[in-house]
Structure 1
Amino acid sequence: MSSTIVGASVRTRVRIPLTFADGYSTTAEAITFDGLADGREHLAMILGDPDLGAVPLVRLHSECLTGDVFGSARCDCGPQLREAVERITDTGGILLYLRQEGRDIGLYNKLDAYALQDSGLDTYQANTELGFDEDARDYTAAAQMLVALGVDRVDLLTNNPDKVRQLTGLGITVRDTLPTGVHATPSNLGYLRAKAEHTGHTIRLAG
């Protein structure tokens, strides 16, 4: 088990039935933690029937109120969350729901960044114009959560190479990386293109 990060511990386990707007339903075991490095209320959701001893499929999903809850088409967060829940349920694994709104700049600042994007900046330029890093997310707490669950090897469901780099640096072995689908709309095409071109996300866009 990794010794590169300070330990966290499981606080509560509770089963929650989940139903999405399209009718898909499953059951998750929601897990909370004590001792996370950033002090935030991140959640682990155990989905499906993980095979003890096998390498689980894991998704690090950063909270997006506008996309996850209200179905905003300006990003692909809501569809990625829906896809991840079903894929992880099918194989058995873990979804880490991380309280990192707006690549960790917060909800109000994210909406300020949207206003700047409407004036012509891309999603990364808008963050830096507001005085933030392009991507301020730190995945130390995610690694702590995995270690607390007895996991130090994962197959990672992501398009974001920084998640792989950070988890690896924190002592979690990423055996394989599986991309999510491409959830493009007329409203988020520029956002997806910026992620692919600027930070190397594995998103294949037509044209």
Structure 2
Amino acid sequence: MAYQELSVNSSPRQTAAVERVVEVRLPTVHGEFRAIGYMDRRTNQEQVALVHGDIAAHGALTRVHSECLTGEVFGSTHCECGDQLGTAMRMMVTDGSGILVYIQGHEGRGIGLLAKLKALQLQQEGLDTVEANLALGLPVDAREYTVAVEILNDLGVESVRLLSNNPRKRDALEANGITIAERIPLLIPPNKENHQYLLAKRKRLDHSLPHLDGLLG
């Protein structure tokens, strides 16, 4: 099948935080996307959005995804991050369009890779994910979503159907001017390695994980 240019806003908006640097076709195992690379001027951190299909200003199927080296690259079963990433991309292809905003700097809910590994060690010793961060003297969740909002603004998006189980993410986007037309669950079946982690996310961080009911103690 001949390659067709994916349609996104071709006249990027000038924003306070991000600069659109490059756009390139990116075929993936999930389907064809357009990779749009950004530079966050405030942090000098590189960011990327993957866009599939024609994106409308309202109701775009959207995933704002925090980087997770252990889950996405190494296939760790302690979290569901890798499965969520692939599932979100497949859902966008099935839907016919969608945006994945992949946020670097969010490793370990924003505490960084080495601190996340230390927190994992504490979880293996019996602490939950919240207790582990606090025991290290670190925030429970240090992430902020300004750059994600700036990228969505650059793409001409005003409202989204958000793929997320996290109410804080929804609230952060709405507080910065992105209307959440719908929140769509992104539920991954639990396993023996991550069930306590997922329960802690539900009990301590208010994540909406109804698929845990009746499955785990």
For residue 51 of structure 2, give the secondary structure of its aligned residue in structure 1: strand
Letter in 2 for 1:88: M
For residue 42 of structure 1, give the secondary structure of its aligned residue in structure 2: strand
RMSD of aligned residue pairs (Cα, Å): 1.5
Please say if residues 58 and 157 of structure 1, whose CA atoms lie closer than 8 Å, have aligned partners that are also in contact: yes
* TM-score, structure 2 as length reference: 0.86
Match of 2:37 among 32, 36, 44: 32
Please say if residues 68 and 108 of structure 2, whose CA atoms lie closer than 8 Å, have aligned partners that are also in contact: yes
Which structure 1 segments of 5+ residues have no match? 20-24
Please say if residues 36 and 144 of structure 1, whose CA atoms lie closer than 8 Å, have aligned partners that are also in contact: no
Query: For residue 43 of structure 1, what is the aligned residue in structure 2?
Result: 48
Query: What are the within-5 Å matches in structure 2 for residues 121-200 of structure 1?
Result: 121-200=127-206
Is 1:97 the counterpart of 2:102? The answer is: yes
Query: For residue 117 of structure 1, what is the aligned residue in structure 2?
Result: 123
Query: For residue 85 of structure 2, what is the aligned residue in structure 1?
Result: 81
Moved more, 51-60 or 189-198: 51-60
Identity between Structure 1 and Structure 2 (%): 40
Please say if residues 157 and 180 of structure 1, whose CA atoms lie closer than 8 Å, have aligned partners that are also in contact: yes
Please say if residues 8 and 34 of structure 1, whose CA atoms lie closer than 8 Å, have aligned partners that are also in contact: yes
Match of 2:63 among 59, 68, 71: 59
Q: CA deviation at 1:6?
A: 2.9
* TM-score, structure 1 as length reference: 0.90
Cα distance, 1:169–1:32 mapped onto 2, change above 3 Å:
same
CA distance, structure 2, for counterparts of residue 136 and residue 51 of structure 1: 30
Q: Name the count of aligned residue pairs.
A: 197
CA distance, structure 2, for counterparts of residue 52 and residue 172 of structure 1: 14
Q: CA deviation at 1:27?
A: 1.4
The CA deviation string for residues 143-201 of structure 1, in whole angstroms up to 9 with x for no partner, is 01100111121110000001111001111111110001233110000110001111111
CA distance, structure 1, for counterparts of residue 54 and residue 195 of structure 2: 35
CA distance, structure 2, for counterparts of residue 39 and residue 175 of structure 1: 31
CA distance, structure 1, for counterparts of residue 192 and residue 28 of structure 2: 29
Q: CA deviation at 1:35?
A: 4.2
CA distance, structure 2, for counterparts of residue 54 and residue 171 of structure 1: 13
CA distance, structure 2, for counterparts of residue 51 and residue 150 of structure 1: 8
Q: CA deviation at 1:50?
A: 2.7
Query: For residue 13 of structure 1, what is the aligned residue in structure 2?
Result: 23
CA distance, structure 1, for counterparts of residue 44 and residue 183 of structure 2: 28
